[in-house]
Structure 1
Amino acid sequence: MAPELRVPRFLTALPAPIRWLALPLALSCTVVVLIGSWGAPANVEVPTPTGKVAAYCQALAAALPPEVLGHARKDPSPASLYVAAWASSPRTVLRCGVDRPEELNGEHAKDLSPTIDDVTWWSQKLDDGGYRFITTMRRAYVEVTVPGGAFANPLDPVAALNPVVKANIP
């Protein structure tokens, strides 16, 4: 004879429709939380540098900090030596070995390009309110994308990453 299944007393006190929906609702919430915490920032293209540029980017990857301005490093999946990210959502993303932006050839070439400790960063405001910063005058192009509202000053994570970029990308 099969053992009798006993329903916990707190569940029997609830109306039937609530009892029936409790498990599906709990499972749905769990799935939403898991999906929301997975993987990479949306649409992160992994660069494919070669030769000396790849070597510079690999050196940079080894030297990147585990935390930037209080945000822990959470790299996209699958892992790549050429992409790093900090925070969970929205993420600040660094890509090394990107191609030279076409915008540097046109009217945007004269856009704001702050220099921090001998590293010049060309900046571009993105449609979503964030910023894209790319090193210029270096042997490899390094891009840092800062989402809108993630920091009081979008240049803060760039300034925090600047010393390691300067030390590894001549």
Structure 2
Amino acid sequence: MARELRVPRVLAALPAPIRWLALPVALTCTVVVLLGSWSAPERIQVPEPAAKAAGYCRNLATALPQELLGHARKDPSPASPYVAAWASSPRIVLRCGVDRPEALNGEAAKDYSPTVDDVTWWPQKLDDGGYRFTSTMRKAYVEVTVPGGASGNPFDPVAALSAAVKANIP
């Protein structure tokens, strides 16, 4: 004997065509939400330093830690000796051999720039509440981007990376 399916009261009150479409519409909406929540891989612009700076950056790349403030190193693909990242959400990114920021030529250069282990970092506040730090007075510019929420204190990653920058980039 065939068993009759019971329709919940909420759906039984709806006209038949709407009841028939309820499940496909719900599944379609679920798929759209899931696909929308998966983000495309983050694109990080790889610097193209001059030959001398490139050598310093390659040395720095080998000296960088495999773990930064509890986050494992997970470099973007394709791999480059000029870019390093640590897997946090959002992630901390170091780029070596970047161009000198134009803003350093103006009034912004007079803003507070902390020095850690003899490396001076010029901070820029980002729209997401994080910071971008660029090393100054070195033979190659190093940029560390700390998005909002990546670290309790946005200066901590810079402090942890300063010794490696000092040792490898004069």
TM-score, with normalisation over the residues of structure 1? 0.77
- Runs of 4+ in structure 1 over 2 Å off: 31-36
1:97 aligns with 2:109: no
Q: In the TM superposition, what is the alpha-carbon distance from 1:50 to its structure 2 partner?
A: 2.2
Q: Which amino acid aligns with 2:140?
A: A
**Residue of structure 2 equivalent to 1:68:** 68
Query: RMSD in angstroms over aligned alpha carbons?
Result: 3.2
Q: Map 1:124-139 onto structure 2 (within 5 A).
A: 124-139=124-139
Q: Which amino acid aligns with 1:99?
A: D
TM-score, with normalisation over the residues of structure 2? 0.77
Q: In the TM superposition, what is the alpha-carbon distance from 1:157 to its structure 2 partner?
A: 0.5
**Residue of structure 1 equivalent to 2:161:** 161
Q: In the TM superposition, what is the alpha-carbon distance from 1:76 to its structure 2 partner?
A: 1.1
Q: In the TM superposition, what is the alpha-carbon distance from 1:147 to its structure 2 partner?
A: 0.5
Whole-Å separation in 2 of the counterparts to 1:137 and 1:89: 31
Q: Which amino acid aligns with 1:69?
A: L
Q: In the TM superposition, what is the alpha-carbon distance from 1:32 to its structure 2 partner?
A: 4.8
Aligned residues with identical type, % of pairs: 68
**Residue of structure 2 equivalent to 1:10:** none
Q: Is the 8 A contact 1:111 1:124 kept in 2?
A: no
Q: In the TM superposition, what is the alpha-carbon distance from 1:33 to its structure 2 partner?
A: 10
Structure 1's 43 and 106: CA in aligned 2 closer, same or farther, altered over 3 A?
A: farther
Q: Is the 8 A contact 1:91 1:146 kept in 2?
A: yes
Q: Map 1:2-81 onto structure 2 (within 5 A).
A: 28=31, 32=35, 35-36=38-39, 39=41, 42-81=42-81
Could you give the per-residue CA deviations for residues 39-84 of structure 1, whole angstroms, max 9, x where no partner exists?
Answer: 4xx3421100121100000000111111100001111111111011
Q: In the TM superposition, what is the alpha-carbon distance from 1:35 to its structure 2 partner?
A: 4.5
How many pairs were matched up?
156
Structure 2 unaligned residues grouped into runs of 5+: 7-19
